[in-house]
Structure 1
Amino acid sequence: MLLFQMAVHAGEKMGKNGLKDTDSIATPIVSGTTHWSKSSGDLIAFKEGRRHSFEYGRYGNPTMKVLEDKISALERAESTLVTSSGMNAIVATLLALVPPGAGHVVTTTECYSEARAFIRDKLSKMGIKVTFVELNDMETLKAVLDQGDVTLFYTDCPTNPHLKCIDIKLVAELCHRKGALVCIDSTLASTINQKPLTIGADIVVHSATKYIAGHHDVSSYTRSHVFS
Structure 2
Amino acid sequence: MSRITEILESIPVDPLTGSISVPIYQTSTFVQEAPGINKGFDYARSNNPTRLALENIVAQMEMGHKGFAFATGLAAIDAVVKLLESGDEIIAVDDIYGGAYRLFTQIYQKFGIKVHYVDTTQAENILEFINDKTKLIWLESPTNPTLKISDIQKISEIAHSFGALVVVDNTFASPIAQLPLELGADIVVHSATKYIAGHSDLVAGLVITKTPELSEKIKFIQNASGAILGPWDCFLVIRGIESLDLRVRQQSENAKIIANFLMNREEIDKVYYPGLTTHTNHEIAQKQQNGLFGGVISFSLKKDSIDAANQFVTQTKLFKLAESLGGVKSLISHPAQMTHASVPREKRISSGIQDSLIRLSVGIEDPLDLVQDLEKALLSIDQKIKEII
Q: TM-score range by the shorter chain?
A: 0.7 to 0.9
Partner of 1:138: 123
**How far apart, CA to CA, are the structure 2 residues paired with 1:116 and 1:137?**
21
**Larger gyration radius, structure 1 or structure 2:** 2
Question: For 1:4 and 1:138, how far apart are their aligned partners in 2?
Answer: 31
**Aligned 8 A contact 1:98 1:105 in 2:** no
Q: 2:50 aligns with which of 39, 63, 77?
A: 63
User: Which runs of 5 or more residues in structure 1 are unaligned?
Assistant: 16-20, 47-51
Distance 2:181 2:92 in 1: 18
| Aligned residue runs from structure 1 range 47-196, under 5 A | 53-95=40-82, 97-100=83-86, 102-145=87-130, 147-196=131-180
Deviation at residue 86 of structure 1 after TM alignment: 0.5
Partner deviation per Cα, 1:179-220 (whole Å, 9 max, x = no partner): 00110000011110001001110100011111122x324522
Partner of 1:227: 209
> 1:22 corresponds to which residue?
17
Moved more, 111-120 or 193-202: 111-120
Amino acid at match of 2:5: Q
Query: Identity, % of aligned pairs?
Result: 32
CA–CA separation in structure 2 for the residues paired with 1:110 and 1:24: 44
**Distance verdict in 2 for CA 1:164–1:140, change over 3 Å:** closer
- Please list the CA deviations of residues 93-112 of structure 1 after superposition, one character each: whole Å capped at 9, or x if unmatched: 112x2112x21111011021
Q: Is the 8 A contact 1:99 1:128 kept in 2?
A: yes
* Correspondence 1:4 to 2:21: no
**Could you tell me whether the CA contact under 8 Å between 2:121 and 2:148 is conserved in 1?**
no
The answer to whether the Cα contact below 8 Å between 2:72 and 2:193 also exists between their aligned partners in 1 is: no
Q: Do the aligned partners of residues 25 and 13 (structure 1) sit closer, same or farther apart at CA in structure 2, a change above 3 Å counting?
A: closer
Q: Distance in 2 between matches of 1:163 and 1:54?
A: 41
Match of 2:28 in 1: 33
For 2:112 and 2:3, the matched residues in 1 are separated by 43
Aligned to 1:200: 184
Sort the Cα spacing of 1:56 and 1:44 in 2 relative to 1 into closer, same or farther, 3 A: closer
Give the secondary-structure state (helix, strand or coil) at the position aligned to 1:67. Answer: helix
Residue by residue over 1:113-140, the C-alpha shift from the partner in whole angstroms, topping out at 9 and shown as x without a partner, is: 1102221232221111221111323333
1:45 deviates by 4.4
How many residues in Structure 1 have an aligned counterpart in Structure 2?
210
Q: Give the aligned residue type for 1:121.
A: Q
* Aligned equivalents of 1:68, 1:218: Cα separation in 2: 19
Structure 1 residue matching 2:20: 3-state secondary structure: coil
TM-score scaled to structure 2, two decimals? 0.52
RMSD, matched Cα = 1.7
Instruction: Spell out, residue by residue over 1:164-183, the C-alpha distance to the aligned partner (whole angstroms, 9 max, x if none).
Output: 21100001000000000110
Structure 2 gaps of 5+ residues are: 211-389
Higher mean Cα deviation, 149-158 or 58-67? Answer: 149-158
Q: TM-score with structure 1 length normalisation? A: 0.86
Matched residue SS, 2:92: strand
State the structure with bigger RCO (CA 8 A, min sep 6), 1 or 2.
1
1:216 aligned partner, one-letter code: H
Instruction: Tell me, yes or no, if the aligned pair for 1:123 and 1:130 is still in contact at 8 Å.
Output: no
For residues 64 and 218 of structure 1, do their structure 2 counterparts lie closer, same or farther at Cα, with a shift above 3 Å needed?
Answer: farther
Q: Aligned residue for 1:216? A: 199
Correspondence for 2:266: none
Separation in 2, partners of 1:138, 1:219: 35
1:49: which partner in 2?
none
1:55 counterpart letter in structure 2: D
SS of alignment partner, residue 226 of structure 1: strand
SS of 2:90 mapped into structure 1 = strand
